[in-house]
């Protein structure tokens, strides 16, 4: 599949590529270049579910209201 570089240096990805990479307007991509000159296009934006399991289980449960209160308290201290 080919794309054309615009005069502004922009590329337009076709719908099949955007769908395959689950890209939406505003998402970011990264171009990875290897030593042989090959380029890999990698989505930078990942779904929130990709973060599951990267942190250990919490010691306690905090409600969204308690989180908001803690944030507001910390901001007020500044």
31-55 pLDDT tens trace: 999 999 999 988 887 667 777 788 8
Which is higher by pLDDT, 1 or 24? Answer: 24
Across residues 62-66, what is the average pLDDT? 90
Residue 75 in tokens = 């901001």
- For residue 23, pLDDT beyond 80: yes
Q: Which residues pair with 43 in a beta bridge?
A: 29
* Reported confidence tier of residue 59, pLDDT bands at 50, 70, 90: confident
3-state secondary structure of 17: helix
Mean pLDDT of 74-78: 86
In total, the chain counts a number of residues equal to 78
Tokens representing 40? 């890999």
Are 72 and 51 a contacting pair, CB within 8 Å?
A: no
DSSP assignment letter at 57: P
């Amino acid at each position: 599949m080919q794309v054309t570089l615009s005069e502004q240096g922009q590329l337009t990805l076709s719908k099949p590529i955007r769908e395959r990479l689950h890209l939406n307007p505003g998402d970011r991509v990264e171009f990875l270049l290897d030593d042989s000159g090959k380029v890999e296009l990698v989505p930078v934006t990942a779904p929130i579910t990709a973060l599951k399991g990267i942190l250990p289980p919490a010691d306690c449960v905090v409600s969204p209201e308690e989180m908001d209160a803690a944030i507001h308290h910390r901001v007020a201290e500044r």
